[in-house]
A = this chain, B = another copy of it.
């Protein structure tokens, strides 16, 4: 068999992504993943050498999937407001698909910071699309479309307001004393709520 099969390898990666990022089994073992994929555990070692390398691959692929669309949106020449909305739609779609991805990455990054020997799983170069979007945010602030501040605040606000309610859902449901149905309803309203915050009426009215 001259050509590499790639079937099983892909199956393992996809399954692992599902287990970690969709099901939220952050502590899943290699055996768990193998079971979920219906393959022998040692195949993980055969294809990825170690669990750590599988993680690296999985995170890399998740990263690719995550930025693929959004990068295109961010570097497009859409008007700022529409660009932001498209970015939000895309981002929230991905959040729905992999609600636990950010939690996983956070914990992973935290642990990496503590252990000196682990390999860095993220590209070191700053993502250009975000840099460009930050510039556009600055322009909008200059133009008075949105309140002036360090542009990173706008970006931080944007992602905070989208992500946090998703990753902290279990905790928030308890604190706010609401059930799944109600929380789903709230999540569905988020986009409009966030837009209302980021593009305040006063300033926004000028642009219309």
Contact = CB atoms under 8 A, between A and B. Distances in A.
Interface string A185-206: 1100110010011101110000
Contacts of A174: 122, 126
B153 A186 contact: yes
A134 B176 contact: yes
B103 A110 contact: yes
Interface string A81-118: 00000000000000000001011011101110110000
Q: How many copies does the complex hold?
A: 2
A2 interface: no
A65 interface: no
A149 B189 contact: yes
B103 A107 contact: yes
Contacts of A196: 147
Nearest to A112: B170
Interface stretch (A3-11, A33-41, A44-52, A159-167): A159-167
A172 interface: yes
A178 to B, nearest CB: 7
20 contacts: A24-B114, A26-B107, A27-B111, A102-B168, A103-B110, A105-B171, A126-B176, A126-B177, A127-B177, A131-B177, A149-B189, A150-B186, A152-B176, A153-B186, A155-B176, A156-B164, A157-B197, A159-B164, A160-B161, A164-B164
Interface of A: 23-27, 100, 102-103, 105-107, 109-111, 113-114, 122, 126-127, 130-131, 134, 147, 149-150, 152-153, 155-157, 159-161, 163-165, 167-168, 170-172, 174-178, 185-186, 189-190, 193, 196-198, 200-202
